[in-house]
Amino acid sequence: MTDDKYKIQKIDDYRWRIPREGKMRVDGIVYADARMLEDIQKDESLQQVINVSHLPGIIKHSLAMPDIHWGYGFPIGGVAAFDMDEGVVSPGGVGYDINCGVRLLRTGLYRVELANKLESIVNTLFANIPSGVGSRRKDLKLSQQAAKNVLKDGAHWAVSQGYGTKEDLEHIEEKGCIQGASPELVSNRAIERGLAQLGTLGSGNHFVEVGYVSEVYHEEVARVLGLEKDGITVMVHTGSRGLGYQVCDDFLRVMINASHKYNIELSDRQLCCAPISSPEGREYLAAMACAANYAFANRQMITHWIRESFDRVLHIGPKESKISLVYDVCHNIAKIEEHIVDGEKRRLCVHRKGATRAFPPYHPHIPDAYQSVGQPVLIPGDMGRCSYVLVGTEKAYTDTFGSTCHGAGRIMSRGQATRSTKGRNIAEELKAKGILVRADSRATLVEEVPEAYKDVTDVVDVVEYAGISKKVVQLKPLCVIKG
């Protein structure tokens, strides 16, 4: 199959090549099936894959996952790795919501035990976890120094303040703290925005979802992850809130100047960047780490209030609810990692924007408990369908810099979704399916209506058939809180 606009070539049923030409330094590789590819070509995300391939020092390929859609600079669902000496770092390859990510909690509870408790649970979660645009915690007052400690120490700070346990830290990417964070590089405006938003959900596609294990595909792996049929789970999806947005905004201005300073030719101004080894590059990575650590702390504190909410509604304690962390992964991040390129180990700066790390079994950067099965990969769907837990593979490590998809991927803009749902009551539609939902505003529900997204099952099937992730369990929602 060939597309006239992008000259797309079929590699196999789940991979497509955009061959290198003109100023492209590498090929583009897109993970999708034929039907998905047709939808992907309806926006400019493939052009963004090409634009990324122009950047200096890019290694092997400019990659796109099956949940790809148009984003700022890089496509959402884009992955690119850069040489440490000749390559660049770009805020557009991380995004505004730095370390937007997902964590999954397992419990000692089963679906039948919550049958008559769901309304109380969703109402208590909604009351306990502030959500919506500009949401803030009134019961948590951070000083400037405490905020800087959050930026430096991430989830470790939260645990030190009583929000969770040291065991939680073992099950978070980078153990909940990216090293090299420099709070002095984060603007006062960014810190001010973060002071009152720690422990809040925010808006848009962020959520807390109580669900259950509806299907088990690999019994042994599921057992290692502590997941079993009909077991209750809780998924948290949120990021670095206004602080991360401000860090990105501040450094976009820095990077525009740096692109001129270092004579980097940009095919898109939104790809503004700096050499990784330059002062501007190093400073962005250090400030980005601060925002990522804030996000880790944010999800850790929300976890504390989830545990508290369950215990309050069910009148039980932690020993009975057994709410523990399966894993926590980043979606929007640039990280220095070691990978094999042409048979040699090399340190690279890997940008994952709307993409998830998927390291294989026995990789040193995954928890000891999961060494035999690989890193857990958490793929949330929309609030009306299902989500998946997968594990990373050796093929992901060799082919995609240890990366896979991150979710369903939008197919409607928020404006389109709003127009298409005029006159509908989304909360009642979901209730009819057995899913209770609470949201800060009706606008969020209509913007996040299930049909605004690809079916996550289709996306997950592509990455499994392509061999870059292995499906373990399916999760179905019971109740959801949204911003």
CA proximity to 111, closest of 227, 209, 235, 233: 233
Q: Judging by DSSP bridges, how do beta strands 61-69 and 27-31 pair with one another?
A: parallel
List Cα–Cα distances, 85 to 168, 229, 339, in angstroms.
Answer: 36, 48, 15
CB atoms within 10 A of CB 338: 11
Distance CA 381, CA 406 (A): 9
Strand (E) or helix (H) holding 459: helix 456-465
How wide is the angle at C-alpha 156 spanned by C-alphas 105 and 135, nearest 5°?
A: 65
CA proximity to 237, closest of 139, 332, 141: 332
406 as an active site residue: the answer is: yes
Task: For the chain, give percent helix, strand, coil, nearest 5.
Answer: 40, 25, 35
Distance CA 394, CA 229 (A): 27
Distance CA 160, CA 176 (A): 13
CB 374 within 8 Å of CB 392: yes
What number of residues does the chain have?
483
328 contact partners, CB below 8 Å, separation of at least 6? 101, 102, 103, 104, 155, 171, 172, 173, 176, 296, 299
Instruction: Name the residue with tokens 């049929």.
Output: 229
CB atoms within 10 A of CB 158: 26
| Catalytic position from the list 61, 171, 363, 406 | 406
Show the DSSP H helices in 111-234 as ranges: 118-128, 144-153, 155-160, 166-169, 188-195, 219-225
Q: Which residues are catalytic?
A: 406
